[in-house]
């Protein structure tokens, strides 16, 4: 008898969000009374799932199944959620894109590097999915596929079982179509306390134009979001371009290049044919960066983290576009991360929410940014931009 492909495998033939799918007969909750019972999820293929191979988006056809879950997967499984497979990632969560297509238009990228996780959620294949962000690897895919994406504060989720590309930056986060599901996952993974939202939250608005070109559609969506927030009682302050934003962008790039090269050096030495040219070139370039410079960049980063914490402490959140525009055409690039990388460097929590897109055929996103370790407050504030998802 010929085995028939699972419904997920059939649905995925055009989208290609999955690098590995479990047999549906094995997808049974071991904790059916848990707070996430009945929810299915995908796992970016840089995180281990027991019984599933981890291939990192690279050429490892003979990878053996992982012996243990990543810590975050184990916590979710204990809460009753069911991992159904591994989602496509850009190679080692860097730049070489995978085959995944945007479910809203198959001719466009879903963003990256958490491409498969965002696409699987956007296509309704799972209730939520795990991703990671080093620069803009979650905010951009969430915006491009019209879903909600949350990157917690740096260090908020245990990283055991994650391949660490950049020890100073890598952060585990999650996607969902529904803010209420996202909050349930946050409660399980982060144990976030209940926070009373301010009656008149103060939000600083940065349009991001000083970082690079922003499309008129993205700027129009930002204005619509600002209008909506004001109607919800928020106090908005338009902020001038901060000259240090570009410095944050540069620092993030340098620290990432240095750490990534050293993280991937053992992989390159052991399996040189497993990596694509863009990854190998990045390793070579990163290895040329002097350790003394790296330590100076880290010292400057710590200084800026303190300065920015003080400078923007009177705001409940900052608001920017989540991406410079809608998903680019084609699959050769995953889009620009310039609007996300400064906050990844600072380690602040960020949330991408679907934005009004009257002038765009594809989704746009708005990015809410909170202070470090104020994740619960940021998720509560998100209700103002998604009032229909408040309950």
> If DSSP codes are grouped into helix, strand and coil, which group holds residue 185?
helix
Contact 35, 21 (CB under 8 A): no
Residue 241: C-alpha distances to residues 227, 230, 247, 316, 369 (Å): 20, 21, 12, 19, 16
Cβ neighbours around 193 below 10 Å, total: 9
C-alpha 126/C-alpha 119 separation (Å) is: 10
DSSP assignments along 312-338, one per residue: TTT-SEEEEESSSSSPPBBSS-----T
Phi-psi region of 364 (alpha: psi -120 to 50; beta: other; left: phi over 0): beta
- Both tokens assigned to 275: 């990596």
- Both tokens assigned to 143: 């915006």
CB-based contacts of 153, cutoff 8 Å, min separation 6: 171, 347, 348, 349, 370, 372, 373, 374, 375
Q: Kindly list the catalytic residues.
A: 44, 113, 137
- Both tokens assigned to 59: 């050429």
The strand pair at 82-87 and 235-238 is best described as unpaired
Burial class (CB in 10 A: 0-12, 13-18, 19+), 206: buried
Residue 301: C-alpha distances to residues 15, 58, 277, 292 (Å): 39, 31, 30, 14
Strand partners, 366: 321, 353
Question: In the chain, which residue ranges form alpha helices assigned H by DSSP?
Answer: 7-15, 71-78, 115-122, 139-145, 179-190, 216-231, 244-270, 277-287, 291-311, 341-346, 375-381
Residues in the chain: 391
Cβ neighbours around 356 below 10 Å, total: 17
- Both tokens assigned to 97: 């894109």
């Amino acid at each position: 008898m010929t085995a028939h492909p699972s419904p997920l495998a059939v649905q995925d033939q055009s989208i290609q969000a999955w690098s590995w799918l479990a047999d549906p007969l094995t997808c049974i909750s071991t904790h059916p009374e848990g707070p996430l019972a009945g929810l299915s999820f995908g796992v970016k293929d840089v995180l281990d799932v027991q019984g599933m191979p981890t291939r990192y988006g690279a050429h490892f056809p003979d990878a053996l199944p992982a012996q243990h879950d990543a810590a975050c997967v184990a916590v979710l499984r204990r809460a009753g959620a069911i991992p159904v497979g591994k989602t496509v990632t850009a190679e080692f969560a860097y730049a070489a894109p995978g085959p995944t297509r945007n479910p809203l238009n198959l001719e466009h990228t879903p963003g990256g590097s958490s491409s498969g996780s965002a696409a699987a959620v956007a296509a309704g294949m799972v209730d939520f999915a795990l991703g990671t962000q080093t620069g803009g690897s979650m905010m951009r895919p969430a915006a491009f596929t019209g879903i909600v994406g949350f990157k917690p504060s740096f260090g908020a989720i245990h990283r055991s079982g994650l391949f660490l590309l950049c020890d100073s930056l890598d952060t585990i986060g999650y996607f969902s179509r529904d803010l209420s599901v996202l909050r349930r996952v946050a409660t399980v993974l982060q144990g976030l306390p209940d926070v009373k939202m301010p009656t008149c939250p103060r939000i600083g608005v940065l349009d991001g134009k000083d970082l690079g070109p922003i499309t008129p559609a993205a700027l129009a969506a930002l204005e619509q979001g600002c209008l909506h927030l004001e109607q919800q009682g928020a106090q908005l302050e338009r902020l001038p371009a901060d000259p240090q934003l570009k410095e944050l962008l540069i620092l993030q790039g340098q620290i990432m290049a240095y750490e990534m090269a050293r993280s991937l050096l053992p992989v390159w030495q052991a399996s040189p044919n497993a990596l694509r040219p863009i990854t190998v070139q990045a390793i070579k370039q990163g290895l040329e960066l002097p350790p003394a410079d790296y330590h100076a960049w880290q010292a400057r980063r710590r200084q800026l983290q303190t300065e920015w914490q003080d400078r923007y402490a009177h705001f409940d959140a900052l608001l920017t576009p989540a991406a410079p525009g809608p998903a680019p055409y084609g699959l050769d690039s995953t889009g620009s991360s310039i609007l996300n990388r400064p906050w990844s460097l600072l380690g602040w929590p960020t949330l991408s929410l679907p934005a009004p897109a009257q002038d765009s055929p594809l989704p746009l996103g708005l990015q809410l940014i909170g202070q470090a370790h104020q994740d619960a407050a940021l998720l509560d504030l998100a209700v103002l931009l998604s009032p229909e998802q408040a309950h």
